Amino acid sequence: MKTKIFTFIIASVMVFTMLSIPGMSAFAESLPTGDSFEAPQNLTVGVKEQENGKPYFELKWANPQSIKELAQHWDDLGEAPLAYQIDTKVGDGKWRYDMGESLFGNSLHGGYDEAGDFTVDDATYDPIDAGELDTIDIKANVYHFRVRYAFLVSNDEEEYWVYGPFSNVASIGAEAFYKEASDWATPELQKANDLGLIPGILKGADMTKPITREEFAELAVMLYEKVTGQKSEPVSPNPFTDTTNPQVLKAYNLGITSGTSQTTFSPNVLINREQCAAMLFRAIKAIHPQGDYSITGVKDFPDQKDISTWANEATKYMNKISVITGDAQGNFMPKATTQAQEAAGYGMATREQAIALSVRTHDKAPEIKASSADNPNPDADSPGAASDNDHSGGDSSGAAANSGPIPADVRAELPDGFPNIPIAADAEFDPYFGAILPSGEDVVMISYKSKQTLEALYYLYVDFLKGLKDFYTYKQDDGKLYSVSGVKDGWEIGVSVAISLGNQVGITVKPHEEY
């Protein structure tokens, strides 16, 4: 993509040729690229007034430790190649970056606090003085902001900028925080806004339009953080090549969503109602892992035949707790099944529908939490149906399998320090080979079969490895193979769950080596 150039408002940051600085040859090998930057965190925006009453914006954010260390490195060398950029849009318009416009920015060096942090973490921004807007009217418009880092690379041959990903979107402005909405949706949209459940990416949007995977991921993360009171962390390293949105990476790390392939998330793809239900169901499980998610006794929908097998549990549970009710005839309307329905947008989840579901889930959270006390074994009654044809990009739902520790007789044969990896409670080992299969030096392979579903077994190991170093998941498109991997306590752990004369689990473990 063509590099976009921006204009600094004060002075352009200049650096000397890096390789001429003693000791810089080695550092040059690890110069930052747009993919290696972290994004600014926890961006907020407020509106201030000058003495003459003229309004302007004040932005604040948190700089990740990696950025602070990079800035300190260059400060020690007397150089200042790091900067920040502020991207803006008004209402449902386009971002200045997407229109190819210059972005307001300044040096990231020169800040100071009592802890000795010299990186800038706030900025005042007057779009009128910058020539970007004629007026600021927060009673009539919603103003959106995002920030990213830039790094000036300079050597004997060329000078150019590399950029990091944008931060979360911070918004401020009109009480009319949406462009269009259906009459039925306005009370719940207002409630969502009052509760702080609408992410910046949806502020000022046309709520009657279908919701994208990226938008729903941000909505689900905001619901999780509001209900739990905990800040989630984005997965690292980023497994996707088509998004750097930290909110999407948080949703992935929480198990709310996965990719459409091993390397893609497809942020702009629209989602249907059964995919929406499945992702929201997984958000609920992330909020209250021990809740009672049984669907025993829940009746089929009139259009049950149109609901994918992998979405059965999610759709029925959401109906059970009255978060999703269906149409006047009780139909769930999971997705379009004909070309005519597809052309009419049948079964697609709209932004206002998704926000309404988030509000209802927020209201049901105490009830869901209370169900935990009555359900000491949350997976016992859960069917956890595996996907036979899940084209939702892995956003199907499922409870983790019933599990226990590795049996004592098997553990006695394992090397010292071997991690406490769970196995299914009904694990059956091969009568000939036993639990531990022959393998190469320093590699341990454990294999067993289970009668629990593939998806339940998959989530057992997602829960075990989620959030750890090199965490990675994969679901084969036909639902017949799942895999999870990560590094725990100095061991590389890889788990495959597949259909092979039953539901087969293979666990490969070896010492982790840093390269």
Separation in Å, CA 336 to CA 122, 145, 346: 47, 36, 5
Mean pLDDT on 53-78? 88
Q: Would you say residue 23 has pLDDT above 80? A: no
Decide: 382 and 293 in contact? Cβ < 8 Å.
yes
Maximum alpha-carbon separation in the chain = 86
Q: Would you say residue 29 has pLDDT above 70? A: no
Tell me whether residue 195 is exposed, middle or buried, using C-beta atoms within 10 angstroms of its C-beta: 0 to 12, 13 to 18, 19 or more.
middle
- Asked, as a colleague might, if the bond just before 376 is cis with ω within 30 of 0, I would say no
Domain 18-173, what fold? Immunoglobulin-like (2.60.40)
Q: What is the tens place of the pLDDT at every residue in 190-200?
A: 888 878 899 98
* Nearest alpha-carbon partner for 374 in 431, 483, 294, 268: 294
Q: Would you say residue 256 has pLDDT above 80? A: yes
Which are the contacts of 186, defined by CB distance < 8 A and separation ≥ 6?
Answer: none
Decide: 234 and 249 in contact? Cβ < 8 Å.
yes
Can you give the pLDDT at residue 53?
Answer: 78
Range scoring the smallest mean pLDDT among 212-226, 325-339, 392-406:
392-406
Neighbours of 114 (CB within 10 A): 5
Query: What sign for the dihedral angle of Cα 285, 240, 32, 96?
Result: negative
Decide: 421 and 509 in contact? Cβ < 8 Å.
yes
Give the three-class secondary structure for 181: coil
Choice between 106 and 341, residue whose per-residue pLDDT is larger:
106
Tell me which amino acid residue 173 is: G
Token duo for residue 5: 């150039």
The secondary structure of 349-361 as a DSSP string is PBHHHHHHHHHHH
Q: What is the tens place of the pLDDT at every residue in 259-272?
A: 787 788 999 999 99
Q: What is the DSSP letter of 121?
A: -
Phi, psi at residue 435, to the nearest 5°? -80, -35
Mean pLDDT on 165-171? 90
Mean pLDDT on 3-27? 32
Q: What is the DSSP letter of 81?
A: -
Q: Would you say residue 107 has pLDDT above 50? A: yes
Q: What is the tens place of the pLDDT at every residue in 397-439?
A: 345 667 788 888 888 888 888 888 988 888 888 876 678 877 6
Mean pLDDT on 20-37? 48
Mean pLDDT on 103-125? 80
Give the three-class secondary structure for 441: coil
Angle (CA) 203-108-470 rounded to 5° is: 70
Range scoring the smallest mean pLDDT among 181-195, 335-349, 411-425:
335-349
Phi, psi at residue 502, to the nearest 5°? 120, -175
Mean pLDDT on 332-360? 86
Can you give the pLDDT at residue 87?
Answer: 95
Give the three-class secondary structure for 124: strand
Q: In the structure, what pLDDT confidence band is assigned to residue 178 with cuts at 50, 70 and 90?
A: confident
Choice between 24 and 456, residue whose per-residue pLDDT is larger:
456
The secondary structure of 2-57 as a DSSP string is PPPP---SS-------GGGSTTHHHHHTT---TTTPPPPEEEEEEEEE-TTS-EEE
Separation in Å, CA 174 to CA 136, 140, 141, 144, 203: 11, 5, 5, 11, 10
Q: In the structure, what pLDDT confidence band is assigned to residue 351 with cuts at 50, 70 and 90?
A: very high
User: 176-180, 301-305, 376-380 — which one is most confidently predicted on average?
Assistant: 301-305
Mean pLDDT on 112-124? 76
First-residue to last-residue Cα distance in the chain: 31
Q: In the structure, what pLDDT confidence band is assigned to residue 211 with cuts at 50, 70 and 90?
A: very high
Can you give the pLDDT at residue 148?
Answer: 95
Choice between 392 and 498, residue whose per-residue pLDDT is larger:
498
Mean pLDDT of the chain: 80
Q: Would you say residue 214 has pLDDT above 80? A: yes
pTM: 0.48
The domain limits of the chain are 18-173, 183-373, 403-511
As a whole number of angstroms, the distance between CA 327 and CA 317 comes to 17
As a whole number of angstroms, the distance between CA 385 and CA 314 comes to 10
Can you give the pLDDT at residue 31?
Answer: 54
